[in-house]
Copies of this chain bind each other. A is one copy, B any other.
Amino acid sequence: MNNEKVNAAIQQYKHIFDSHFKIFHEFLRIPSVSTAEIHREDVVKAADFLVEQLKQLKFKNVKAYPTKRHPIVFGEYLVSSKKPTLLIYGHYDVQPPDPIDQWNSPPFEPQIKGDHLYARGVSDNKGQIWATLSALRAVLQTGDLLFNVKVLYEGEEEIGSPSLDDFLESHQSILACDCILNPDAGMLAPNKPTVTYALRGMAYFELRISGPKADLHSGLFGGVIGNPANILCELIAKMHDENRHITLPGFYDSVRKISEKEKNELDKLGLGVDFYKKNTNVPALQGEVGFSPVEQVSTRPTLDVNGLYSGYIQEGAKTIIPSYAMAKISTRLVPDQDPDAVHQSILKFLEENVPDAVTWELKYLSGAPAYLSEPDGPWFESYLAALRQTWGDEPMIKREGGSIPVATAMKKYLGVDSILTGFGLPDDQIHSPNERLHLPTHKKGVEALIRFFLNP
């Protein structure tokens, strides 16, 4: 048993917490906003800060690799070529702080109020990087790692990771590993440590319906001309039936049914009608008939209009038949749907349903399959055990409705599944003003990571 080692590391963590936490504040003071050209140097500064931290921990081959935009930081701590290897992912870039006037304290001057630390990026994702670094430091200062650890920190997550795929593909050998820890997924509540094992995929389209060559006078021509805006609405309406099933031909053919066991696990999460109403302020939910809310958002594919435009949208009235109408339409996909097959399906739907009074064009903007890992195996079990021991309760094992393209890319180029986790909470206000970190949860997270590192 490693209980002694675990206890020693946790004691060391507590011992050095205050001094180490000051260094964290330095990290938070760097405005590493990846989307803003004005912060380009700050993003580099944050990468250099992490290089320095890894070197202090005696990591080897530490380097900030340049990319077309922001550097990717790599480092490794190899204990033995016979031991397995964990790759830890993180991103050191942050969202812009706007709207700044809604912050109660400056976004890049970290402040503690009660149980929370406030700063841009403190939860997403600098706090999660800090949790892993804190656990590594405590373990290395009181003993040694039981497996090899590599880290990869990118500076472009908030702008869609444009350099990551190329980097993964061209650095497969140095990144070789047996498991990936991705602490960018968060937990459901302070008392609910969580692992996500499935993410939905996506296929995103832009549909344009064109009619007359220019806007027409709706008085002179209304009645004989197929109105592109009306026709677009009719097509979109026809994409669902009255049970909110999607009607695109063959759309559900490859949807994998979930097992009774998995369904029971999902039901345990407590993500019911009230949870979703409370978090969105809608008067009532509306989902696919025959499925519970948590199944609807995580195990079932969807089709949502993300944007609509046609004709005159300023104040007041203009009486025209618009020459065209446009919709942005995205489908969220589940295993084993193929985004390219969904593209073909929507093309077929349009061929069959668009009336001959208009012409149409469909742009396929992006597609990515769903991500699904098997929630078992030694790494997974070990991580769950660490959570269980730390919180004294059974961890949540969940599917999630969103997409984390990093996990899909890692699987594609490194062939390895990710443990999607983290210690951020739903009310951390990430991407919003007054982003914060719940310190008691953060500290518990570090303890759980110490246990994981010492109980492989």
Q: Are B307 and A225 in contact (CB under 8 A)?
A: no
Output the residue of A303, A305, A355 with the most chain B CB within 10 A.
Answer: A305
Residue of B nearest to A217 (CB): B402
Q: Are A307 and B310 in contact (CB under 8 A)?
A: yes
B216, B286, B307: which contacts A311 (Cβ < 8 A)? B307
What's the least CB distance linking A176 to chain B, in Å? 30
> Assuming A225-B285, A282-B211, is B332 touching A311 (CB within 8 A)?
no
Q: Are B224 and A287 in contact (CB under 8 A)?
A: yes
When distances are taken between beta carbons in the complex, the residues of chain B under 8 Å from A223 are 287-288, 293, 296-298, 300, 302, 332, 401
B234, B283, B317: which contacts A366 (Cβ < 8 A)? B317
- Give A311 to B288 CA distance when docked, in angstroms: 22
Output the residue of A280, A282, A307 with the most chain B CB within 10 A.
Answer: A282
A143 at the interface (CB under 8 A from B): no
What's the least CB distance linking A339 to chain B, in Å? 13
What's the least CB distance linking A296 to chain B, in Å? 4
A126 at the interface (CB under 8 A from B): no
Interfacial residues of chain A within 178-236, with CB under 8 A of chain B in the complex: 199-200, 202, 204, 211-213, 216-227, 229-234, 236
Total interface residues on A, CB under 8 Å, equals 81
When distances are taken between beta carbons in the complex, the residues of chain B under 8 Å from A355 are 284, 286
Q: Are A401 and B286 in contact (CB under 8 A)?
A: no
Residue of B nearest to A205 (CB): B317
- Give A217 to B325 CA distance when docked, in angstroms: 24
What's the least CB distance linking A355 to chain B, in Å? 6
A322 at the interface (CB under 8 A from B): yes
Interfacial residues of chain A within 136-190, with CB under 8 A of chain B in the complex: none
Q: Are A283 and B356 in contact (CB under 8 A)?
A: yes
Residue of B nearest to A357 (CB): B286
When distances are taken between beta carbons in the complex, the residues of chain B under 8 Å from A276 are 221, 224-225
When distances are taken between beta carbons in the complex, the residues of chain B under 8 Å from A204 are 317, 319
Q: Are A321 and B308 in contact (CB under 8 A)?
A: no
A400 at the interface (CB under 8 A from B): yes
Describe A's contact surface by its main secondary structure: mixed
Q: Are A321 and B307 in contact (CB under 8 A)?
A: no
- Give A89 to B292 CA distance when docked, in angstroms: 67
Q: Are B332 and A222 in contact (CB under 8 A)?
A: yes
Q: Are B224 and A293 in contact (CB under 8 A)?
A: yes
When distances are taken between beta carbons in the complex, the residues of chain B under 8 Å from A240 are 230, 234
- Give A312 to B310 CA distance when docked, in angstroms: 13
- Give A118 to B297 CA distance when docked, in angstroms: 63
- Give A296 to B225 CA distance when docked, in angstroms: 10
Residue of B nearest to A211 (CB): B282
The 18 listed contacts between A and B (C-beta, < 8 Å) are A200-B219, A212-B281, A218-B306, A219-B400, A221-B297, A222-B401, A224-B286, A230-B237, A283-B357, A284-B357, A285-B357, A304-B321, A305-B325, A306-B317, A307-B310, A309-B309, A313-B328, A318-B328
List A residues at the B interface (Cβ < 8 Å). 199-200, 202, 204, 211-213, 216-227, 229-234, 236-238, 240, 276, 279-288, 293, 296-298, 300, 302-313, 316-322, 325-328, 330, 332, 355-359, 365-366, 400-403
4 shortest A-B CB distances, which residue pairs? A219-B402, A226-B286, A237-B237, A286-B357
